[in-house]
Chain A
Amino acid sequence: MIAILLDGIVQGLQLSLMAVGITLIFGLGGVLNLAHGQFAVVGGIAAALFVGEGLHPLAACVLGVLTAGLFGLIVDRTLLVPAYRCAGEERLLLGLLITLGLSFAVNGFLDFRYADIALTLRLPTPSYEIGGITVRSASVIAALIALGAFALLFAFLKGTLLGKVIRSIIQNEVGAGLCGINPARIRTLIVVLSAMLAGLGGIAQGLFSSVGTEMGNELTSFALIVAVVGGVRSINGTLAAGVLLGIVNAFASYLVGAYMTLLILLATAAFTILLRPQGLFAYRT
């Protein structure tokens, strides 16, 4: 039982890592990024390509994360500009449609060009035992990566002036603008940061299974579910929702099978939107 719980927590942290990017981009840019899983896949595939070039896996992973960030930068400075020009509903709609189109474009391109490339990271010691429980070292590393990333993110948001600026924009974009903050530059920073987090999530996924071109949509939908359940404007909520859904996922897969689990997760997301659109754990970050 404890093994399942741990497994669930690790999976949940992975999900949160993906979802927090959606939360950040939505909160700050007012764009619901439906191509988020594709950012992760871009990171994963790039890392796989660098490994193929003969680089050390660690260096390849760092480069993969940077590639995802670069991709995010390009998307933000080009494709999303027309969306940023609009405000309110119009921006949401335009952003949604653009990123939906982007997700197809990326899927199509990767499927065509890198169909047979996938990232699989193998660790020297697959598993070891602590107190009678077999722990996969992949789980430990993935959990550490996610926890580290979250610790850095929270330290950044709570501890630095830039973090304060970011939180102020999430709370009130117009108000922040009136205080002399340039939301456009911060937005770019956040999109790049979120893309890098997604890339990190994608690469961490490579520790468990292989990350191939076809995983983009699946990652996007899981991240979306987590972001929605946690509240699309709350970072703490996203983290909590990710861990919660990860645990639910692990137990449900164990008890009722993978198929029912997916339905349970989807239904949770649907009911959350209908009953508490602000998210289950919505309180301001």
Chain B
Amino acid sequence: MMRERHFADYVTLTAVVVVLALAPLALGDSAHYMRLATLMLIYMGYAVAFNIIFGHTRQLFLCLGALAGSSGYVSVVLTIKLGLSPWLTIPLGVASAALLGGVFSYVSVRRGLGVIFVGIVTLVFSLIFHNLVLGLRELTNGETGIETKGLGPAVLQNASASYYAVLGVVAASLVMYHLLMRSRAGKAFQAIADDELAAELAGIDVTFYKVLAATIGSALLGVVGAVYAYYSGFISPTVYSLVSVDIVVLVTLLLGGMSTLLGPVLGGAVFAVLDEVVRPLGRLNVLVYGILMIVLVVTFRHGLVAMLRKVVRIRIP
């Protein structure tokens, strides 16, 4: 039974990587589509992280953009101001994101905050982050943002190389997700998601595992946020705002299916297509996202993966 389950995981992982690796061939040389595909991968990365934090341990972090942004900004600002190599500053950025996420989680578990209060605290942190970036003009250039062209690792300067670099990050995060879920921690996450009190009574260290999930997830957000900062060539408070990250990731994960391996990937792909479809609507796309989110939350809470499982009756991780 166990082996069969892992087998399904391996097949899915391989299939995902192969399909995504071949995708650029289908897109041809179009720089526009190449960029969209890379952005899609970035949102998949965010969604994998959020899946660990929210899908598995029910901690509603509404500061995904802020965590990714803190990593991106720490890394870029250190690179510019101190002249350090991005290979050194990216880990620092990731560490700061992981630390922030871990601290939020630790404090809220210790204070016994319900899911809603975790949501409010992290939402408030998002606002604080946004205003700090706007206010610390000397460091962050405020609203105008920072040009990061030519700063980052050489891999992220070329369109198709950066696609594969980001794909590498996403693939690594999926493998890590798989390993995490089959480990002892994965069982603990499942118990916590089912019933936190029962898990505590069964001898699971709920605090430890919740903080672990939040730290790993935040670190991953940090990695993706920093990669994005160098890849896109430009960062500003807007690219890490609640609207551009958190909402999209929420919709992506709800669409794909929470607490699943394939969910973030599937959701990310469908969302990317959807986003392209509503692009001609211009400013109306916020309306579409809002409605989509309501519809998903109300009628489609288990996502595409759950639907596929029902339809094709095979094990989809």
Interface residues of A (CB under 8 A from B): 32, 79, 82, 89, 92-94, 96-98, 100-109, 111-112, 115, 221, 224-225, 228, 259-260, 262-263, 266-267, 269-270, 273-274, 277
Contacts and interface: CB of A to CB of B under 8 A. Distances in A.
Contacts of A262: 127, 131
A111 B283 CA distance: 7
A107 B128 contact: no
B287 A274 contact: no
A112 B281 CA distance: 10
Given A112-B287, A267-B128, 10 more contacts: A89-B114, A89-B116, A92-B114, A101-B291, A104-B290, A105-B294, A224-B123, A263-B131, A266-B128, A274-B121
Contacts of A108: 283-290
Interface residues of B, number: 39
Contacts of A32: 116, 119-120
Contacts, number: 113
A260 B132 CA distance: 9
Chief secondary structure at chain B's binding surface: helix
B254 to A, nearest CB: 8
Chain A interface helix/strand/loop/mixed: helix
B131 A266 contact: yes
Contacts of B124: 225, 266, 269-270, 273
B135 A106 contact: no
B115 interface: yes
Interface of B: 60, 107-108, 111, 113-117, 119-121, 123-125, 127-128, 131-132, 134-135, 243, 247, 250, 282-294, 297-298
A105 B290 contact: yes
Contacts of A274: 107-108, 111, 113, 121
B287 A105 contact: yes
A112 B278 CA distance: 14
11 contacts: A32-B116, A96-B119, A100-B247, A101-B294, A104-B247, A106-B290, A108-B287, A108-B290, A221-B123, A269-B120, A273-B124
Contacts of A100: 247, 250, 293
Nearest to A26: B116
Given A97-B297, A274-B121, A105 B132 contact: no
Contacts of A277: 111, 113, 117
Nearest 5 A/B pairs, CB to CB: A105-B290, A108-B287, A108-B286, A104-B290, A101-B293
A97 B116 contact: no
A194 B225 CA distance: 39
A82 B301 CA distance: 12
Given A109-B287, A263-B132, A97 B293 contact: yes
A105 B291 contact: yes
